Structure 1
Amino acid sequence: MAAAKAHQRACDLLATQRPLTVQEREFVLRHWQESQNSTTVTTLAGAFFTPLDLAKDLALYVSGAVRLIDLGAGIGALAWAAYRNMVAGYLSPPHVEIVCVERNPEYVAVGRRVLPEAEWICADLFALPDDLRDFDVAVSNPPFGRTPRSGRGPRYTGRCTEYHVIDVAADLARRGVFLVPQTSAPFRYSGTPDHRWDRSAEYLRFAQQTGIVLEFNCGIDTAIYPGWRGVRPTVEIVTCDFTERRTSRELRLPPPDEQGQLALLAA
C-alpha cells in the first residue's frame, strides 16, 4: 500500500508542468515503479532499475568526465547520479554533455522529466546513430544474461547481453563503468566472505574476443543496497579502460596471487 501511494505521488509530480526540484527528481527515481504500469513488461525487457544509492556510488567513477553516455538508461538513475557528480563542487558548473539511450518510450518520458539536462534518445542501443562517439565514459546497468536483444556487439559472439553492451560501449567511450551480474564479473566481492578472482569460461571468451578486461572497483559491496524492486540480484561494479586492449596470451595468465584473494584489498 505504501509503495503504491509513493508511486502515485511520483506520477503526480511527473504530471506537473513546472520543472521538478532536486528532491522531487530523487523521489521519482526512488518510487516510480515500472511494474505499476500496464504497458510495461519488466521481466521480458530485463529492466530492473538501479537503486539510487547504488547509482550514486557507481557515479564516483565518472569524476573528471565531461561527455557521458548511459546505455539502456531506464528512467535515468545512473545518468542523474553521474550528472550530479560531474557538476558537484563547482561555483560555476562546467558544461557537461550527457546522452541517455533507452528503447522504452515510457521510460524516456519519465527520464526527460527527471534529467532534462540530458539528451534522451529513444532507440535500441544495438542500432545507434553513427555520430555517437568520443565520450569520456560510458555507464550502464544493462539487461542481464540471455535476455532478448535485437543485435550484438561488434566483436563478442557469446550469449550474455551485458557483455554485448560493454562491447558496444567500447567503440563509444574511452572508459566504462558497468553493473553486471556477479557471475559475469571476473571476481567475487559483494556479499561474500572470501573475496577472490573467479574468471568464468564465458568471461574469458568475452575478454579474448574483445581484448576488454573488466577491473575491480574501489571496494563497493553492492549487497548492502536495498531498493531493487521485486528482485534481489547479486551484482558487481566493474570498470574498464577501453584505450587498453589485452592480448590472448595476457588473458590466459593465472590470477594475480595463488590464493585467489584480491591483491588490491590485501595491499
Structure 2
Amino acid sequence: MLKQKFDSVPWTTNQTFKGIFFTLIPWISFTVVSSLLSTSTTSQAAKPLNPQVDAANAIVSLIFSLVIYSAFLIAPFFYARRYSQTAISNQRSVWQLLGFRHFNVGLTVLLVLGSLVLIILLNQIYTYLITTFHLPLQTNDQFVLQRAKTAPITTYASLFTAVFVAPFCEEIFFRSFSFMGLKNGMQPAVAVILSALIFGVAHGDPASLPVLFCIGIALAGLRLLIGSYWPGFFLHFLNNALSALLIILTVHGIHI
C-alpha cells in the first residue's frame, strides 16, 4: 500500500509536457548557441588563456551555470508545491512528491553499480565504433578535452558543475517531475523510453545521443524500480564523476 502511494504524482501528463516545453526550449537553444560559440573560440585560440582571464571566465561560467541549472527546478517545485498537502497528493510534502524518501539500500547499491558497469562498457563500445569506422563525431568529452588545452581553469569549473550540480537538478527535473508525470498518462515502459529520449536530446550533444539515451533508460528504470529520487542521483553522480576524473587524468597525460 505504501509503495502504491508513492508510485504516482498528482500533476497531469499535460502539465508535465508544459513544464518540459517551457524548461527545455530555452535550455536547448542556450546549449546549441554556447556550443557553437565555444567551438569557434576554441578553434581560434592558438595559446592558452592568461591565468587571470581564465580564472575570471571560470567564475562567470560557474555562476551562470548555477543560474541556468536552477531553471530545471522551477516546474518541479511549482507543481509539487501546488499539489502538496492536498487530498489528491495523499498529504505528501513537496520533497516527498519529488521522490526524496527512504529506499532499499542493498538493492540500490547492486543496481547502481551494475548500471554503472554497463554504462562504462557501452561508452567503450561506442568510442571503439567511432574510432574504427572514423565517424565524424565529436562527443562532449572530446570537446572538453580540447577546451582544457586553452582554458584549464574554466574547464575545471565546468567539470565541477557537471559532477556536483547537474545530477541534483537533472534528476529532479527528468525523473522526479518529467518521468513520473509522463507515467500518469502512458505505459511505464513508454514513459521510460520517452523520458530517456528527452533527457538525451536536452543535452544538445548529438554525437553522444545513443549513450545518453541508454543512461536515461537506466536512470528512469531506477526511479521506477526503487521508487526514490536517490538511486538515480547516485548513478548520475558516479557516472559524471568518473567522466570528469578520466578527463582530468587525460589532461595531465595519464591514460587508463
Q: TM-score range by the shorter chain?
A: under 0.3
Of Structure 1 and Structure 2, the greater strand share is in 1
The normalised TM-score by structure 1 is 0.23
TM-score normalised by structure 2 residue count: 0.23
Larger RCO, structure (CA 8 Å, separation 6 or more): 2
Please tell me whether Structure 1 or Structure 2 has the larger radius of gyration of its CA atoms.
2
User: Which protein is richer in helix relative to its size?
Assistant: 2
